[in-house]
Structure 1
Amino acid sequence: MTDIAALAADLVAESESADGLVADLDADGWATPTPAPGWTIAHQVAHLAWTDRQALLAATDEEAFADTVKQAAANPTGFVDEAAEQWSRRAPAELLAQWRQGRTELAQALAAVPSGQKLPWFGPPMAPASMATARIMETWAHGQDIADTLGVRREPTARLRHVAHIGVRATGFAFQVNGLPKPTEPIRFELTGPGGESWTWNDEDAANRITTPALDFCYLVTQRRHVDDLHIEATGPVAEQFVKVAQAFAGLPGAGRKPGEFL
């Protein structure tokens, strides 16, 4: 059984890690462009705060969330970016306070969802554990954008396992969103965690295999590093194709990072 309380605690911890990067920035710091085209640090935080808010609505007010889904359906390619733009215009102190309040309330709300209940979302309904894991993944990824902007190296934590888990679970989606058929052969994923622990997924006898440090795998599936800059061993044609299309996040494939951009 998934420990939703532990996941909620990890979401809080991951958010606090990203918060520590921006808490002391001045107005110019918040306006610094990040590797995401057109997005400043304020946009990155605004996106996290807005998405946490939508997840909170999904967990506590389905009617209000349904209105948001209708708005998204009317502008599927620009809705998220427009929300980030609008929220980024708020004063940094106000935006930071809203992010802190929203993510705290979200963690509490997810931990309180009755067992077996799923939450509405922009795609298929999600279990609270899946929602918490997705928020950890996105918070880590956008936190990485901020860290890269500021030239900060973050110490990897065991929370990377949540990011990696989504990257593995999204294998079929990653192929399909890139116009490729969903693979019929499994990939064995063998990752080494920050403390030297082994994290594995799928049959150990699978012909296709990915072997890599967990941090590099998370960089790959969130497209925060170019595959040429990572230590990833791919064995088998499906695994070799996977490293070209890996994507843990929803939506269309991103441009990713250029080789050597962040070494």
Structure 2
Amino acid sequence: MTGLPDHATLTALLAEQFDALAELVADLPEQQWRTPSPLPGWTVFDVIGHVIGTESMLLGEKPPARDPQTADVDVATLPHVRNEIGKFNEIWLQRLRPLPGTQLLDRYRDVTGRRRAALAAMDEAAWLAPGPSPVGEVPYARFMRVRLFDCWMHELDIADALGIAVDEGGARGDAAFAEFAQSLPRVVAKRGGAPAGSLITFEVTGPLARTLYIEVAERARYVPAPTADATATVTLDSGLLVRLGGGRVNPEKVLERVTFGGDAELGHRIVRNLAFTI
């Protein structure tokens, strides 16, 4: 789960992901830009605005000046803001919300175009250099896989908000899922309470079908093949798994879409506590 695509491949996948987001909103009437998304407090407009803010920050740019005709909201008081990243996101959104959707899309295309050029121009030393990221001090290459995962999840957010089906598989989905899956062993042990000595099997169906074996010892880790019978088996669609991990759905409302084997009580506890993304 830790292997990263090479520089050219990951840069191309990010470029494709930027394009996929733009295509989703390209023909939206203004009213639909303001459709609530699965993310608390955010509309479709805000999801695209968030990507603009993050990619602009990576280019060294600051938020635009606040429109004096809009209220100056203390973003720290918003109920869905829980950390400094949340504050950063909301400052950008506060500054962008006065724009119509068409202008936001123009801005999105501009900044993502400049970002893909910057990524393509990076040398290997910079690409592999460690630095800060939402998952700690990691090589820039890993940070960009995090960016791919974030943007891929936001494609699902917008699609779900608009009631549109998108292709959740393919190379972009595989790379994004690899980033998502890297956190699953820790989540299973720490949040789900899987005990030491247990083996948890995820039978993942759907567009990103695979079987994941997580062994819990001093620390939880993936194993290539089971060394014993699974303590608990959880079978569910890949789209549901990532939405649970992203905190996009209430687990109590989707338990009927999950099949449990072995220790069903443990399996239920794991599924109820999968949400881990920022």
Query: What TM-score do the two structures reach when normalised by structure 2?
Result: 0.68
Partner of 1:205: 226
What SS does structure 1 have at the residue aligned with 2:207? coil
Maintained 8 Å contact 1:160/1:214: no
One-letter code aligned to 2:143 = M
Partner of 1:165: 178
| Matches of 2:17 and 2:194, distance apart in 1 | 31
Aligned match of 1:218 in 227, 230, 242? 242
Aligned match of 2:43 in 23, 35, 40? 40
1:133 aligns with 2:145: yes
Unaligned runs of 5+ in 2: 63-75, 77-82, 214-221
One-letter code aligned to 1:215 = G
| Matches of 1:101 and 1:233, distance apart in 2 | 45
Partner of 1:103: 112
Residue 167 (structure 1) shift: 2.8
One-letter code aligned to 2:254 = D
1:155 aligns with 2:167: yes
| Matches of 1:150 and 1:27, distance apart in 2 | 13
Partner of 2:97: 88
Residue 108 (structure 1) shift: 4.0
1:51 aligns with 2:54: yes
Quickly say closer, same or farther: Cα 1:38–1:118, change in 2 above 3 A: same
One-letter code aligned to 2:124 = P
Maintained 8 Å contact 1:187/1:238: no
| Matches of 1:155 and 1:123, distance apart in 2 | 26
Maintained 8 Å contact 1:167/1:248: no
Partner of 2:269: 241
What SS does structure 2 have at the residue aligned with 1:211? strand
Q: RMSD of the alignment, in Å? A: 3.4
| Matches of 1:223 and 1:199, distance apart in 2 | 22
Maintained 8 Å contact 1:163/1:218: no
Residue 32 (structure 1) shift: 2.7
Identity of aligned residues (%): 24
Quickly say closer, same or farther: Cα 1:148–1:186, change in 2 above 3 A: same
| Matches of 2:190 and 2:47, distance apart in 1 | 24
Partner of 2:207: 194
Aligned match of 1:23 in 22, 26, 32? 26
Corresponding pairs, count: 234
Residue 199 (structure 1) shift: 5.7
One-letter code aligned to 2:161 = T
| Matches of 2:186 and 2:116, distance apart in 1 | 27
Q: Deviations over 1:115-144 (max 9, x none)?
A: 531232355223233222222222122222
One-letter code aligned to 1:229 = V
Partner of 2:80: none
Residue 87 (structure 1) shift: 2.3
The structure with more radius of gyration:
2
Maintained 8 Å contact 2:203/2:236: yes
